[in-house]
Amino acid sequence: MNNKDSPAMVAIFDLDGTLTWRDTLLAFLGRYIAARPWRLLRLWRVPAVLIAYLRAGRERGVLKARVIHMVMAGDRRAALERWAVQFADSLQGRGTFRPDALAVLREHRKADHHLVLMSASPDLYVTKLGEQLGFEETLCTMLSWQGDRLDGTLRGANCLGAEKLRQLALLRARYPKARFVAYGNSGGDLAHMARADQAILVNAGRSAREQAARLGIPVGDWR
């Protein structure tokens, strides 16, 4: 089906641990600091960040935003965009992506399905990865800016759990005739996966697998 305004199927892929072998945000921040070692001086605030994370009920969005703010706040948009492109380019050919995941992605593309990358990682680089991997849409955690400089706090909700479920509802409203398939790897993906027409939990830990079993979601492993 060639009409992307009314696809037969919408395929939603998580990024970290689903398409990739490991977390991309840690790699992004780690390489950023390695290229700018003086930024290590900013890490004296880590204990306070961890305390805020615990007080917020272990809310990952709070932790993520505070760490990004601590490391990158004040940097200019153009410089960060160049870095994001370099980072995304560097992941190609590094064994970052799971071959099985890329094979499934190719099958959906071959079938002319609408491809959506949905990730809790930030838009700083996830949108670039989405473009490189051939996704028509990328939905991810958005960061705020102060003019031309990064603030690093969240602009909207952390794209996990309830937010992924909300994004699925918005996609369904746009494509009411389409069937939806969702791929994820963690408990934070199960809310929207349970509402998809098809879903597979891959590469997950024991707790997420047990939750998936209770929800009737198949599990598997991608290499």
Q: In 3D, which of 71, 28, 68 has the Cα closest to residue 155? A: 68
CA 70 vs CA 27, 153, 182: distances in Å: 16, 10, 33
Q: Domain 9-220 - what CATH class?
A: alpha beta
In whole angstroms, what is the distance from residue 205 CA to residue 201 CA? 10
Q: What is the DSSP string of 12-24?
A: EE--TTTTBSS-H
Condensed to tens digits (0 to 9), the pLDDT of residues 31-65 reads: 999 988 888 877 777 777 677 667 766 667 777 88
Beta-carbon neighbour count of residue 136 at 10 Å?
A: 15
Buried residues in 8-47 as b, exposed as e (16+ CB within 10 A):
ebbbbbbbbbbbbbeebbebbbeebbeeeeebeeeeeeee
Share the mean pLDDT of the chain: 90
Strand pairing report for 179-184 and 198-202:
parallel
CA distance 124 to 77: 9
Instruction: Report the pLDDT averaged over residues 5-11.
Output: 89
Q: With a cut of 70, say whether residue 202 has pLDDT above it.
A: yes
| pLDDT of 142 | 94
- Pairwise pLDDT comparison (29 vs 48), residue with the higher score: 29
Q: Residue ranges of the domains in the chain?
A: 9-220
pLDDT of 3? 44
Kindly state the DSSP code that residue 188 receives in the 8-state scheme: G
Given a cut of 50, whether residue 2 has pLDDT beyond it is no
User: Range with the lowest mean pLDDT among 58-62, 179-183, 209-213?
Assistant: 58-62
The pLDDT value recorded for residue 1 is 43
Tell which residue, 135, 143, 140, has the closest CA to residue 118. Answer: 140
Q: How far apart are CA 23 and CA 16, in angstroms?
A: 5
* Per-residue pLDDT tens over the stretch 99-148: 999 999 999 999 999 999 999 999 999 999 999 999 999 999 999 999 99
Span 60-86, pLDDT tens digits:
777 788 888 888 889 999 999 999 999
Angle at 39 between CA 36 and CA 45, to 5 degrees: 160
Q: What is the pLDDT of residue 94?
A: 72
